[in-house]
Amino acid sequence: MTSSDFPDIAAVLFDAYGTLFDVHSAVAHEAGALGDQADPVSQLWRRKQLEYTWLRSLMRAHADFHQVTADALDHALAAHGIDDRELRERLLELYLTLNAYPEVPDTLDRIRAKGIGTAILSNGEPRMLTAATDSANLRARLDDVISVEPVGIYKPDPRVYELGAERMGVSAGRIAFVSANAWDACGAAHFGFQVIWLNRFGATPEQLPGTPKATATTLDDVADLLGC
C-alpha cells in the first residue's frame, strides 16, 4: 500500500494512549517498588481501564478518564495484594506525563510539513491530555487536542469520531485516523474514517465491524503511508 491509497487527506487524528504515549511507562518508573509484580499490575491496570470505559458507556454512567484510570489502578493493586497509598498516588501522577514513543515528534513534523492538520482524539480528559502533550513537547505540533468529555461517552461510540470530524472541520472521508488499539481502529473505520491500525506488537486483528485500510508497525510507517 502506498500514499496513493490515501488521497485527499486533510487531517490526521491520533489516538493518544498506546498510540502516541506508552501506557506502561508509569509502572516502568516504579518497577523498583513493584518488583516482579510490575508487569502484571501494568497489564491489568490497562485492561481494566479500557473495560471500565466500555462498561460505563453501556451503563450510561460516565466518569472522566482520570477517575476511570484511578478506579482501574485500585483494582489492579488490590488484585495483586498491594496496599500502598503513596505508590498509588505516584503512579497516578506519572500517568499524567507518560513517555511519548520516540518517533512521535518526527512523525507529526513530517505530516504537518505536507500541510496536513494533526490532532489527538482521545478518551483522556482535558487536564490529562494537556499534561501529557506539554510534557512530551507535542502541543505546538498539534492543531487540536480533542477529548471525549464534550459528548460524555467513550470510544468506540460514533459520537466521539463525529466530534473529531466537527472540530477539524473536515469530512470523515478526508480524515486519516491512527490508533494502536484494534477495537478503536475498527470503530473509526466503521464510522467512516480512513484508518491506519498501528499494530506495534503484532496483535491479532479484532473480529468487529469496520476494517482499517492499512496496518503499520511504527509511526514512521504511518507517515510513509500518507506520503509525508
Query: How far is it, in rounded angstroms, from Cα 147 to Cα 190?
Result: 20
Give 21's strand partners.
Answer: 17, 100
Mind giving me the DSSP string for 108-130?
Answer: HHHHHHTT-EEEEEESS-HHHHH
Q: Show which residues are catalytic.
A: 15
Question: 138-147: string of b/e by CB count within 10 Å (b at 16+)?
Answer: beebbeebbb
Burial (Cβ within 10 Å: 0-12, 13-18, ≥19) of residue 7? exposed
Alpha-carbon radius of gyration of the chain:
17
Cis bond upstream, residue 156 (ω within 30): yes
Distance CA 3, CA 12 (A): 14
Q: Are 69 and 154 in contact (CB under 8 A)?
A: no
Nearest to 228, CA basis, from 110, 117, 115: 110
